[in-house]
């Protein structure tokens, strides 16, 4: 009986100890959870401390070779500007012109009275001097036609052209037009690389503009042209012709791409490598570029080129009327709000002006949608047109506005 009680007592003790141990373990677990919670949010698991099967392990990045890095850098350098310049450069030529000037040297013993008295008995002492001049141009036709400015070849006795690959040719003048400042030259050669002509009527202010030319001429051995980059700053810039200037610059393209001396006649190219203008002149105080350059729109040049190649010149235009400025006295007599426009003083019979319905006493206020301020504006407007052009004219006749259409004819 005593043994049985001892066994029961021992069993109870083991059960008690097991229960106590379980209770103690539970308390420790709770305490651990409590302690972890008091330290803040648990740290998120990252790939470095997450146990994943081998098949799901994160792969490491493959190393990039120096060759791949260099190739990526090279590709990034070949942007749209580089591509466009490479397309147009082979067609750009350097133009060397020789002009002979007659002059009379300064003579400290020169006597005007003596010269006037003996002029009939002695030949005047005059000398001739060859003056070199440089400019640029570009091949626009594989037959060897080259486009440039008229002032580049003005008075030239000899024209030498150097291509970007070093080949040299003697050029012949096909035709020139002083008013538009455009000239066409031709060379005889094989495998001549023409440049593609673009559309200057769809220019966007702010788009890329690339001026290409050769400002050094033959001063350096390298025949490759130079490239300057900017944007289209503005379009439709027109300038009043000066008294001594015979060029009429109308609807010019303005760009901040540097146009240096010697670049005249070179192409202004867009980001597609197409010619949109002919680099012509700059505004400058020091002789260098101030970021204000102007180019003749290529669409205008195309029409002049057709005239020069076909006729050797730009055919003179017949208008058939004369006009003068509207003075304040005229304005008051005609009940005009301001003295602007031109008043027609004469209309020739059978002329384009008469066929359009223009009459003496009409006041021309606008032409092709542009307001005419005075006779200089009218000259800039009418003299920039070619034979066959149609001009829409707004006139004031007896206090009423009328619209007339004049088709220009060749003056014979």
Active site residues: 151, 181, 264
Token pair for residue 381? 């407007």
Distance of CA 35 to the CA centre of its chain: 74
Q: Quick one: which of 231, 233, 238, 224 has its CA closest to 266? A: 224
Beta bridge partners of 325: 342
Q: How far apart are CA 97 and CA 92, in angstroms?
A: 16
Where b means 16+ CB within 10 Å and e means fewer, 108-137 reads: eeeeeeeeeeeeeeeeeeeeeeeeebbbbb
Q: How far apart are CA 195 and CA 272, in angstroms?
A: 11
Place of tokens 């002149």: 281
Judged on CB neighbours under 10 Å (0-12, 13-18, 19+), 227 is buried
97 within 8 A of 152, measured Cβ to Cβ: yes
Q: Quick one: which of 78, 77, 75, 82 has its CA closest to 272? A: 82
As a whole number of angstroms, the longest Cα–Cα distance in the chain is 176
339 within 8 A of 330, measured Cβ to Cβ: yes
């Amino acid at each position: 009986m005593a043994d049985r009680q001892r066994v029961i007592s021992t069993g109870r003790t083991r059960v008690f100890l097991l229960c106590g141990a379980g209770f103690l373990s539970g308390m420790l677990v709770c305490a651990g959870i409590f302690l972890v919670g008091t330290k803040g949010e648990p740290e998120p698991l990252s790939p470095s401390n997450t146990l994943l099967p081998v098949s799901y392990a994160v792969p490491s990045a493959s190393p990039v070779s120096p060759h791949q890095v260099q190739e990526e850098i090279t590709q990034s350098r070949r942007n749209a500007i580089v591509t466009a310049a490479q397309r147009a450069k082979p067609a750009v030529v350097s133009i060397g012109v020789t002009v002979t000037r007659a002059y009379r040297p300064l003579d400290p013993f020169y006597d005007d009275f003596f010269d006037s008295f003996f002029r009939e008995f002695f030949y005047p002492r005059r000398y001739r001097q060859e003056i070199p001049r440089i400019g640029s141009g570009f091949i626009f036709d594989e037959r060897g036609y080259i486009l440039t400015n008229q002032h580049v070849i003005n008075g030239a006795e000899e024209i030498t052209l150097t291509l970007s690959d070093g080949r040299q040719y003697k050029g012949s003048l096909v035709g020139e037009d002083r008013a538009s400042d455009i000239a066409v030259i031709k060379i005889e050669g094989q495998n001549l690389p023409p440049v593609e002509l673009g559309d200057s009527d769809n220019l966007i202010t702010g788009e890329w503009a690339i001026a290409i030319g050769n400002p050094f001429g033959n001063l350096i051995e390298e025949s490759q042209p130079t490239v300057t980059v900017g944007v289209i700053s503005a379009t439709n810039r027109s300038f009043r012709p000066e008294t001594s200037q015979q060029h009429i610059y109308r609807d010019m393209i303005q760009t901040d791409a540097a146009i240096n001396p010697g670049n005249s006649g070179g192409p202004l190219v867009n980001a597609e490598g197409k010619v949109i203008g002919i680099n012509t002149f700059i505004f400058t105080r020091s002789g260098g570029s101030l970021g204000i350059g102007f180019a003749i729109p290529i669409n205008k040049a195309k029409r002049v080129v057709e005239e020069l190649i076909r006729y050797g010149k730009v055919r003179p235009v017949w208008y058939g009327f004369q006009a003068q400025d509207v003075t304040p006295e005229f304005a008051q007599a005609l009940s005009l709000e301001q003295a602007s426009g031109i008043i027609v003083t004469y209309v020739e019979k059978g002329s384009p002006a008469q066929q359009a319905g223009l009459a003496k006493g009409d006041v021309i206020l606008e032409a092709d949608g542009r307001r005419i301020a005075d006779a200089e504006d009218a000259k800039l407007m009418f003299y920039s047109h070619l034979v066959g052009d149609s001009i829409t004219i707004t006139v004031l006749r007896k206090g009423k506005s009328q619209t007339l259409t004049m088709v220009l004819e060749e003056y014979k």
